[in-house]
Amino acid sequence: MRIFPPISQRSFLNPAWLCVVAGLVLSLLGVYTIDLGNQINAPQSFAQLSPLAVRQIGHLAVGLLAAFIIAAPDMRIWRVLAWPLLGGSLILLIILLLPFIPASIVSPRNGVRGWIDLGPLDLQPAEFAKIAFVLAAAAYLRFRKNHRTVLGLLPPAIIAFVPMGLIILQPDLGMALLFLPAIFAMLLGAGARIRHMLAILAIGMVLAPASYPFLHDYQKQRILGLIAQFQGGGHASDDINYQSYAAQAVAGSGEITGYNDAKSRAVIKYAALPERHNDMIFAVIVNRFGLLGGVATMGVYLVWIIGAIATAAVSKDAFGRLVVIGLAAIVSAQTVINMGMVLGALPVVGLTLPFVSYGGSSMVAVWVTTGLVLAVALGKSPFLTRESFHFED
């Protein structure tokens, strides 16, 4: 296996470029809206951008570099590295939970022990653990068929639940939930029996309420807050629902076409929306560009997802196909959950909007994701490719 295949063995005309273009559009939109939400005067030059926007440009540069470094080698190298990468991710997740680690290295934020302080930048291991999990699950499933039995679903479940459990202990339930749609989609892509998957889904839906007593108090409050929103009447608008109501107010005031730049900056500043550069940034987008802008943003995400699905569809490599399916499921689920919590349809669980929200780890991780999709698309399948996921029934 050659680590860097010759150009003649690369497929440069492929649908993964849709992911690259869509990711770049969303990232630049994120830089603009981060600046929009954090200073009232529009910058007249690069030097006048808000500090957070400047840092996000740096995060984007690192993310783009990482994406093309990831895409350059033969995709099979990532299959070889899948298990070591997952092992390294688990070690980092365990380090976050060790009580004797100094606060200068691991300091809780909003009650979550999710970041390792590396001086000039912070590392959020969970962002990269979900990618390593997808690689490991794909490496396990690529030529197997035991996952078509009920007992055969246990090993893939363990691969998912170990990092999930460590992330839940931080506690970061929102990030942990992203593992479920990924493993579900990968199992379906690998030919798992639909009746087994539907049965597991039904059991999970029935048992989900039983997990309520084991949730943290703030997690229970978020669920109760969402129920209160559905009941109407502005319940807990100054308490647990403040962030959600503020986000809905900021987004709703943009109406159909949004405000101009100056008015949007003023509205957002005086609305005092928490996390407007991070979890709630979609509200800033809709305030500035209105309902049409929000729909257009969803459309750009749809372009990314279509590019990924098309890449999986044309790939004959079992490992690469499953990697793309798992990563696409994570990006799709994270986008839907973030927009849902901003619009008051889902509880606030602290998930960023991919490509757009401020954050070094989240930006680099989503561009690593895009780089892996591109790596799969660039690779040409060998002539003697082993058949995978073809079953008689």
Task: Look at 119-123, 131-135, 292-296, 360-364 and tell me which has the smallest mean pLDDT.
Answer: 119-123
What tens digit of pLDDT does each residue of 134-184 get? 999 999 998 777 777 888 889 999 999 999 999 999 888 889 999 999 999
Per-residue pLDDT tens digits for 83-92: 999 999 999 9
Asked whether residue 391 is domain-assigned, the answer is no
Confidence check: pLDDT of 234 > 80: no
Does 215 fall in a domain?
yes
In a domain, 79, yes or no: yes
390: in domain? no
Pairwise CA distance, residues 173 & 346, whole Å: 13
| Cα 79 to the center of its chain, rounded Å | 21
Task: Give the pLDDT mean for 288-294.
Answer: 96
pLDDT per position as a tens digit, 258-278: 999 999 999 998 888 888 899
- 299: CB partners within 8 A, 6+ apart: none
Given pLDDT bands bounded at 50, 70 and 90, which one contains residue 82? very high
Residue 36's pLDDT is 94
Residue 359 is classified by DSSP as -
Rounded to an integer, what is the distance from CA 75 to the centroid of its chain? 21
Is residue 355 included in any domain, yes or no? Answer: yes
Residue 375 and residue 71 in contact, taking contact as beta carbons nearer than 8 Å: yes
What is the share, in percent, of the chain residues with pLDDT greater than 70? 86
pLDDT of 284 higher than 80: yes
Query: If you average pLDDT over residues 327-356, what whole number do you get?
Result: 92
C-alpha torsion angle, residues 101, 104, 106, 110 (rounded to 10)? 130
Asked if residue 6 is part of any domain, the answer here is: no
Q: Note the pLDDT of residue 387.
A: 61
Q: Is 25 helix (H, G, I), strand (E, B) or coil?
A: helix
Instruction: List phi, psi (to 5°) of 281.
Output: -70, -25
Q: What is the radius of gyration, based on Cα positions, of the chain?
A: 21
**Among 117-121, 244-248, 269-273, 297-301, the range of highest mean pLDDT:** 297-301
> Domains in the chain: how many in total?
1
For residue 200, the one-letter residue type is: I
Helix ranges (H only) for 272-317 are 281-314
- pLDDT tens digit string along 357-379? 999 999 999 999 999 999 999 98
Instruction: In whole angstroms, give the CA distance from residue 63 to residue 83.
Output: 23
In a domain, 7, yes or no: no
The per-residue pLDDT of the chain, averaged, comes to 87
Ramachandran area for residue 389 (φ above 0: left; ψ -120 to 50: alpha; else beta): left
Q: Which amino acid is at 116?
A: I
Q: Among the residues of 72-212, which ranges form H helices?
A: 76-97, 125-141, 154-168, 173-177, 179-189, 194-207
**How confident is the model at residue 55, as a pLDDT?**
94
Q: What is the pLDDT of residues 180-227, one digit of tens each?
A: 999 999 999 888 888 888 888 887 777 667 666 766 666 666 676 666
Mean of pLDDT values over 223-247: 67
322: nearest Cα among 166, 147, 89: 147
* Distance between start and end Cα atoms, the chain: 34
CA distance 104 to 129: 22
- In this prediction, residues 281-285 reach a mean pLDDT of 95
What pLDDT, on a 0 to 100 scale, did the predictor assign at position 230? 64
In the structure encoding, which two tokens stand for residue 43, read together? 């910058």
Residue 85: CB atoms within 10 A of its CB come to 18
- Report if residue 10 sits inside a domain: no
Residue 176 domain boundaries = 23-41+51-378
